Structure formats: structure tokens, C-alpha cells
Amino acid sequence: MGDTKTIIAYNKGAISYAKEWQDQPVPADMYELLLKYFKAGVTADIGCGSGRDAAWLSKNGFEVSGFDVSQGLLSEARKLHPGILFRWSSLPELKEITSGSFQNVLCETVIMHLELSQIPLAVKRLRDILCKGGIMYLSWRVTVQQPERDAAGRLYSTFEKELIISQFKNTDLILFDQESTSASSGKTIHRLVIQQG
């Protein structure tokens, strides 16, 4: 199960978070990468929040399902995007998802909300739900100081990229690896695109 205080924060503030994300500039930098690397096929948005990115994926021809640990955010996603399937599931286990079931996995700025000990498990499980040769887009907000919580109680864990990279196998291919400022949130994030080998 994910970080309890973070989940509570998202449940309590679901409506305002949904509005904040909808009002942000379009994450054109991320969408450009998804169009470049994702392949036609079933796609999972893990930590889908209010469904903004799942809706974009659907409009661009991907058969997408959204998954989130916050029932409040899932409620907002279903109201905003009624044509998309949104389901409850929790990192790091994702017990509700069958291994090898997705061609593409999107996990945008989610894993930093987990306790440090859960992050490697989460990355391994995200890889596990990919089918052979599947593509994963994985990003996280970069926190350079000690782990911190924002005013709402959301956890931002601090870790090095190597913690993530070490969870992939030698046969996996790193297609993209970059730290930059998000066009949408204005925060520093690290982006990886991995092809399962």
C-alpha cells in the first residue's frame, strides 16, 4: 500500500487537484515522448489521478485504462472522462493487474510519493505488467534535500536515478533518460523511457 498521508491528501483534495491539473499548461514535452515511443496496443496509466493523461492517450488512439490508489481522484476521473475505464490499484503491488498485460505503461510523477523502501518494488512491478518488448514511461519529481512533505501531507522521497535503473534487467533498453523542467507543472522531473528486453 502506498503512503497513507499522501493518499489521504489526494482523497481530501481530489476536486481541487483535478482542477489544478486540468488548468495546467498541456504537458507537450511528455506527450511528444509518448507519441515517439509508445506502440499501438493496450496501455496503462498508473497513478492516473483525475484522468487527464489517460484521456489524451485515448484521443490519440491508445486503448487505455487508468489506475489510482485514491478513490477521490478516481471519482473525478470517471466524471470527467466517462468513456475510459478507471480502476483502483496500489503501488508497489498492483495486485489487481495481471503480469504481462500491457504494451505500454505510463507512470508520470507517482513513485516519489512512496517510501524509499517501496520504490524498487514498485519499479519491478511496473516492468512486470509490461508484455514482452513493451514500453514504459516513468518519471518522478526530483527532490534534492531530505524527503519532505508538502502542506497537504504528500510525501516526496529523495533518491538517485541509479535506484531506478538498477531495477531493470540487462536485456532492457533505455530509450530516453533526461532530467528537465516539466512544461506542465514547472517542476524538475526525471524522465525515463524503457523497452522491456
Which structural domain, as residue segments, surrounds residue 65? 4-195
- CATH code of residue 108: 3.40.50.150
The Cα–Cα gap between 176 and 104 comes to: 15
The Cα–Cα gap between 44 and 106 comes to: 6
Q: What is the pLDDT of residues 18-55, one digit of tens each?
A: 999 999 999 999 999 999 999 999 999 999 999 999 99
Q: Work out the average pLDDT over 130-149.
A: 91
Q: What is the pLDDT of residue 92?
A: 97
Q: How big, in percent rounded to 5, are the helix, strand and coil portions of the chain?
A: 35, 25, 40
Q: How far is CA 32 from the centre of its chain?
A: 16
Q: What is the pLDDT of residue 147?
A: 79
- Pairing relationship of beta strands 63-68 and 155-156 according to DSSP bridges: unpaired
Q: What is the 8-class DSSP label of residue 117?
A: G
Q: What is the pLDDT of residues 68-102, one digit of tens each?
A: 999 999 999 999 999 999 999 999 999 999 999 99
Q: How many domains does the chain have?
A: 1
Q: How far is CA 148 from the centre of its chain?
A: 19
Q: What is the pLDDT of residues 168-179, one digit of tens each?
A: 999 999 999 999
Q: What is the pLDDT of residue 2?
A: 83
Contact 161, 190 (CB under 8 A): yes
Burial class (CB in 10 A: 0-12, 13-18, 19+), 186: exposed
The partner residues of 173 in beta bridges, in order of sequence, read: 195
